[in-house]
C-alpha cells in the first residue's frame, strides 16, 4: 500500500514532498534573512551604538552565519547521499529551529556569533535536500514547476520575517522562527524517500556522497564551479546592496532613513515574483540557460540604476528594491540546474553544497566590499564588485549544458 502511495504521489505537482519542501524552505528563508532585518536593533540592544561598529559587527555576525552554512552544506550534502534526502530535510529543520530559539536569549556578541554559526549549519541542509527530493520524485517534464513552487513559497518567508522583525521586536522574531520550524516537523508523516535513492542504495558497488570526487575530475570540477558562479549575483544583491541598504541610502544622498527590514521585505517580494516568472518561463521555453542569462542582464540593469542614482525618495528606493529582487529571482532555476547536472550518487551533495557556497560567497564578497569601500568609496566599490559577479555568472551559464527534461536516473562514475 505504501509503495502504491509513493508511486501515485509522483504524478501530482503538489504532492506531500513538494509541499513539505516548500514550507521547509519558507521557514529556512525566514530564519536566513532575519539577521539582516534585525541587525541594527539587536546590536544596539547588546550595547553596540557607533555607526562604524554596527557595520563592522554586522559583517562579522553575517560571516559567522555564512561560514556555518559552508560547513553545514558539505556535511548535510554528504549525509543526503549516504543516509537519504529525508533525514537531511528534517534534521536540518530541527537544528536551525533550536538555534534560532536560542538566539532570542543572547546577551553578548560572542554568544550571538556562536549561535549564528550553529544556525547557519542547520540552515544549510533544507533547500538542497528538498530540491533533490522534488527533482527525483516528479516526472522530468514537471520538475521545473515543482522547484518553482518550492522557491516561490519558500522565498515569501522573508516577507513574514520583515513584518515580524519590524513590528514584534528582534527577540520575538527569533522565537517565532524557531517555533515555526519545530511545528513543521509534525508534517514528517506522509513524506516518502526518493525512489531513485532507494534503488541506488540497493546497488552495492556505487560510491555515494563522495564530496572530494567533485575536485578529482577536471571536467566535473569546472561544471561544479560554474553552477556556483551563476548564483553569486543573487547574493551580491541580497548580501551587499540590500543588507547594507541603510548605508547606501546615506551614500546616495537620501533625505529619509532606509529601513533594512523594509528593504529586505521589498527585495524578497520581488524575488517571489521573479522566482515564479523564471521557473515558469524555463518550463514554457524549455530552457534553463537562456532564462538565467535574461535575468542576469536584467539584474545588471537594475544594479546600475541603484548605484548610479542619487537622492531617491524613500518610495522610489523601496520600489527599486522590489525590481532588484525580481531581476535576481532566478534562484529556483539556478538550484534546479545544479540538481540536473550530476548523477544520483552525488546529487544531494551537489544540490546542498552549491547554494550554500553561493550563500557563503557573502564572506569573500563582504571582505572585498569592505576593502574596496575603504579604498575607493562605498558606491564605486559596489559597482566594481557587481560587474565582476555578473560577468562571471554570464560566462558560467553559457558554458553549461542545457538540462531541461534531462533524465536524472543515472550515476556518476567515481
Structural domain contains residue 203? no
Chain mean pLDDT for the chain: 87
End-to-end CA distance of the chain: 36
pLDDT digits (tens, 9 = 90+) for 364-390: 888 899 899 888 989 999 999 999 999
Number of H helices, E strands in the chain: 21, 0
Structural domain contains residue 195? no
Say which CATH number the domain at 257 has.
1.20.1250.20
| Alpha-carbon gap, residue 331 to 23, rounded angstroms | 16
Least confident of 79-83, 231-235, 270-274, 407-411: 407-411
Which helix (H) or strand (E) element contains residue 62? helix 51-82
Structural domain contains residue 135? yes
The C-alpha cell at 221 is: 570540477
pLDDT digits (tens, 9 = 90+) for 48-73: 877 777 878 888 888 888 888 889 99
Structural domain contains residue 309? yes
pLDDT at 67: 85
Q: Is residue 231's pLDDT more than 90?
A: yes
Domain count, the chain: 1
Q: What average pLDDT does range 102-120 have in this prediction?
A: 92
Residue 23 in contact with residue 157, Cβ under 8 Å?
Answer: no
Please give the residue range of the domain that contains residue 385: 7-188+210-398
| Alpha-carbon gap, residue 230 to 71, rounded angstroms | 21
pTM of the predicted protein model = 0.85
pLDDT at 8: 45
Structural domain contains residue 407? no
Structural domain contains residue 232? yes
Structural domain contains residue 269? yes
| Alpha-carbon gap, residue 72 to 119, rounded angstroms | 10
Smallest CA-to-CA distance from 243 within 222, 263, 228, 225 is with 263
Structural domain contains residue 152? yes
Largest CA distance in the chain: 66
pLDDT at 38: 86
Amino acid at each position: 500500500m505504501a509503495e502504491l502511495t509513493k508511486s501515485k504521489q509522483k504524478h501530482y505537482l503538489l504532492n506531500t514532498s513538494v509541499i513539505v519542501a516548500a514550507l521547509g524552505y519558507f521557514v529556512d528563508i525566514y530564519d536566513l534573512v532575519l539577521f539582516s532585518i534585525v541587525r541594527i536593533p539587536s546590536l544596539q540592544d547588546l550595547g553596540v551604538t557607533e555607526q562604524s561598529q554596527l557595520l563592522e559587527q554586522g559583517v562579522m555576525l553575517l560571516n559567522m552565519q555564512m561560514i556555518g552554512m559552508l560547513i553545514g552544506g558539505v556535511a548535510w550534502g554528504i549525509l543526503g547521499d549516504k543516509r537519504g534526502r529525508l533525514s537531511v530535510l528534517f534534521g536540518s529543520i530541527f537544528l536551525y529551529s533550536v538555534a534560532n530559539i536560542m538566539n532570542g536569549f543572547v546577551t553578548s556578541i560572542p554568544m550571538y556569533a556562536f549561535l549564528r554559526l550553529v544556525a547557519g549549519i542547520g540552515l544549510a541542509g533544507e533547500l538542497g535536500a528538498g530540491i533533490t527530493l522534488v527533482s527525483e520524485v516528479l516526472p522530468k517534464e514537471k520538475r521545473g514547476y515543482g522547484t518553482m513552487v518550492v522557491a516561490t513559497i519558500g522565498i515569501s518567508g522573508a516577507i513574514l520575517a520583515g513584518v515580524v522583525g519590524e513590528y514584534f521586536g528582534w527577540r520575538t522574531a527569533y522565537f517565532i522562527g524557531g517555533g515555526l520550524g519545530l511545528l513543521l516537523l509534525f508534517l514528517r508523516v506522509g513524506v516518502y524517500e526518493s525512489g531513485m535513492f532507494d534503488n541506488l542504495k540497493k546497488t552495492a558497488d556505487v560510491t555515494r556522497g563522495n564530496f572530494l570526487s567533485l575536485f578529482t575530475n577536471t571536467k566535473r570540477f569546472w561544471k561544479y564551479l560554474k553552477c556556483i558562479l551563476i548564483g553569486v549575483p543573487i547574493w551580491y544583491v541580497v548580501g551587499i546592496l540590500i543588507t547594507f541598504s541603510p548605508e547606501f541610502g546615506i551614500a546616495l544622498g537620501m533625505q529619509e532613513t532606509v529601513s533594512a527590514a523594509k528593504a529586505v521585505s521589498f527585495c524578497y517580494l520581488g524575488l517571489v515574483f521573479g522566482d515564479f516568472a523564471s521557473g515558469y518561463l524555463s518550463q514554457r521555453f524549455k530552457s534553463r540557460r537562456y532564462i538565467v542569462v535574461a535575468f542576469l542582464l536584467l539584474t545588471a540593469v537594475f544594479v546600475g540604476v541603484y548605484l548610479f542614482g542619487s537622492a531617491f525618495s524613500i518610495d522610489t528606493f523601496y520600489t527599486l528594491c522590489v525590481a532588484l529582487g525580481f531581476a535576481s529571482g532566478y534562484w529556483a532555476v539556478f538550484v534546479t540546474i545544479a540538481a540536473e547536472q550530476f548523477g544520483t550518487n552525488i546529487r544531494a551533495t551537489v544540490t546542498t553544497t552549491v547554494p550554500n557556497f553561493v550563500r557563503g560567497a557573502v564572506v569573500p564578497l563582504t571582505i572585498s566590499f569592505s576593502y574596496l569601500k575603504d579604498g575607493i568609496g562605498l558606491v564605486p566599490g559596489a559597482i566594481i564588485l557587481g560587474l565582476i559577479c555578473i560577468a562571471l555568472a554570464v560566462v558560467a551559464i553559457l558554458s553549461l549544458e542545457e538540462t531541461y527534461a534531462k533524465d536524472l536516473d543515472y550515476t556518476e562514475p567515481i
